Amino acid sequence: MMRGSRLLLVERVAAGGSSASGGGASASSSSRASFSGPSGGRAATAEEAARAKGAEKEKRRWSFALQDTPSTIRKYIDDVDKGYAIRLSLFVGILCSVGYTTYQYFVYRQRHLPLAQRWGKFSPTVPITLLERTELPGKMHLYRFALPTPADYAGYEPVSSVRVHSGLVRDMDSISRWFTPVSHPMERGIIEFAIKDADPGRMASRLHHLTTGDVLYLGSWMKEFPYTANKYTDIGVVCSVGGSSVALQLMKVITANENDKTRLSILYCAQSAAALPFENLFLEMSKKHPDRLKVAFNVLTRNGRNSTVANGEIPVNLGLLDHTTLVKSLPPPPIADPVTGVTPDASKTKILVCAPTSLMAPLAGRPSPIWNISYYQGPFYKYGGMLKEMGYQRSQVYKFGVSTHILAHHY
Ligand SMILES: Cc1cc2nc3c(=O)[nH]c(=O)nc-3n(C[C@H](O)[C@H](O)[C@H](O)COP(=O)(O)OP(=O)(O)OC[C@H]3O[C@@H](n4cnc5c(N)ncnc54)[C@H](O)[C@@H]3O)c2cc1C
């Protein structure tokens, strides 16, 4: 009997001792065990120890039940008059805290990414500081901004645009507009925009008042036409002065990559030779990369300042845009060449149109107003105009500016 009691004691110690609540029960079972002999006693005590362990576990469970709430707090939660409001406030508070923590977690995870690769909905706007504003012909301005740190870079995939928030300029409320950067995506610490003065526009009035050192904010990014090096053999861009940012962005990306063999043909359209910003830049680049870049100009009149286009130093198409100009300036449509008999591969040629509706409509038809949460270019009957007449297929033509809806695919 003495041996049985000692065994019981040893087993209890091994089990970590019994709980206070199980104490009484274990005392009675141990006395029962003392009558059932040494082996029966051992079984009973093991069972007892397991139960005590269970009670201990029950006491130390990590989960939280409402009954565990301290009685002082529970008193308020269960209050007949204020309980509902308190429970609701608690619920909303917890929900907001979880939401805010999740947001901060995503912000933290994305802080090392290039600006355009941050998930727009989960990253704060990025302040950019105006360094320089250069006035160009055609009411165009080139804005050069510093990114928050010299190591930052836009890192966008061409052709992309970013939503620029004005912040509080001269106490005017903050508004935002899309702009297409013209600096290379890998340029460190700097971002540039070519912005046409849309006076009397709302953003235009804020941009007028910007001085060096003023801050704007970059918001979410959208990738409109997805460009991949060497995917197409030829890309033709028809752009107006306001749409020249797209041509500049593509030109910078393509010419900076020596392995990219895509041929880019730009047809740059303006009212007059006086309104042709970046004329010299386009010409310089086409001289530097004659095998990959071809630039043609179309102006309604040569009148204007002294320029290569106005002086007639370079060939320029005068008057309204017509088939002859398009044939000379763009890659050929997929129809058999009358001389060689060769039909260009339609999947290897793309024509991009970035112009106001007054130019886009006669060229390729109006952009579609429906389903603008995607980059859907509209039903077949929305494609028409000169490009269709020349034989370009609907799938070959991309019209810019069709998707500015808040739900559109952004980064
Ligand atoms: C994807 C995308 C990329 C873009 N990229 C560029 C870019 O790189 N560069 C660029 O310059 N633009 C770009 N734009 C256009 C730009 O976002 C703005 O639409 C443009 O700058 C005009 O903005 P705003 O606020 O000044 O004009 P808003 O106030 O929006 O007015 C729109 C037009 O109406 C006219 N208007 C306004 N009020 C009056 C009035 N009372 N009487 C007469 N006319 C009036 C304005 O002059 C303007 O032409 C882009 C647009 C998109 C969708």
Q: Does residue 29 carry a pLDDT above 50?
A: no
What pTM was estimated for this model as a whole? 0.78
Cα 404 to averaged position of ligand 1 atoms, centre (Å): 13
Instruction: Determine which residue's CA is closest to atom 35 belonging to ligand 1.
Output: 201
The order of strands in the sheet holding 263-272 is: 316-318, 293-301, 263-272, 234-239, 349-354, 397-399
Q: For residue range 215-267, list pLDDT tens digits in order.
A: 999 998 988 889 999 999 999 999 999 899 999 999 999 999 999 999 999 99
Q: Does residue 43 carry a pLDDT above 90?
A: no
Q: What percent of the chain has pLDDT over 70?
A: 80
Cα 136 to averaged position of ligand 1 atoms, centre (Å): 18
For residue 405, the model assigns a pLDDT of: 58
CA gap 322, 386 in Å, rounded: 8
Ligand 1 pocket test: which of 159, 179, 205 has the largest number of ligand atoms within 8 Å of its C-beta? 179
CA gap 42, 40 in Å, rounded: 5
Instruction: Determine which residue's CA is closest to atom 27 belonging to ligand 1.
Output: 201
Residue 177 assigned to a binding site: yes
For residue 159, the model assigns a pLDDT of: 92
Strands (E), 175-272: 176-179, 190-196, 215-223, 234-239, 263-272
Mean per-residue pLDDT, 114-136: 90
Which ligand 1 atom is the nearest neighbour of the CA of 224?
Answer: 1
Residue 129: name the closest of 144, 109, 110 by CA.
144
Q: For residue range 269-288, list pLDDT tens digits in order.
A: 998 888 889 999 999 999 99
CA gap 254, 227 in Å, rounded: 10
Contact 131, 144 (CB under 8 A): yes
- DSSP assignment of 120-159, as one string? GGGS--EEEEEEEEEEETTTEEEEEEE-SSTT-B--PPSS
Instruction: Determine which residue's CA is closest to atom 4 belonging to ligand 1.
Output: 179
CA gap 356, 335 in Å, rounded: 28
Contact 80, 70 (CB under 8 A): no
Confidence of residue 13 (pLDDT cuts 50, 70, 90): very low
Ligand 1 pocket test: which of 177, 207, 244, 251 has the largest number of ligand atoms within 8 Å of its C-beta? 177
Confidence of residue 374 (pLDDT cuts 50, 70, 90): low
Which ligand 1 atom is the nearest neighbour of the CA of 199?
Answer: 47
Which ligand 1 atom is the nearest neighbour of the CA of 175?
Answer: 25
Q: For residue range 85-114, list pLDDT tens digits in order.
A: 999 999 999 999 999 999 889 888 888 899
Cα 277 to averaged position of ligand 1 atoms, centre (Å): 18
CA gap 6, 100 in Å, rounded: 59
Helix (H) or strand (E) holding 398: strand 397-399
Strands (E), 166-290: 176-179, 190-196, 215-223, 234-239, 263-272
Instruction: Determine which residue's CA is closest to atom 52 belonging to ligand 1.
Output: 178
Residue 188 assigned to a binding site: no
Residue 203 assigned to a binding site: yes
Which ligand 1 atom is the nearest neighbour of the CA of 196?
Answer: 11
Q: For residue range 162-198, list pLDDT tens digits in order.
A: 999 998 888 889 999 999 999 999 999 999 999 999 8
Query: Please, what is the end-to-end C-alpha distance for the chain in angstroms?
Result: 79
Residue 162: name the closest of 145, 186, 179 by CA.
179
Cα 204 to averaged position of ligand 1 atoms, centre (Å): 8
Which amino acids bring their CB within 6 angstroms of ligand 1?
A: 161, 177-180, 193-196, 198-204, 242, 245, 401, 404
For residue 78, the model assigns a pLDDT of: 85
Instruction: Determine which residue's CA is closest to atom 32 belonging to ligand 1.
Output: 201
Which ligand 1 atom is the nearest neighbour of the CA of 207?
Answer: 26
Count, residues in the chain: 411
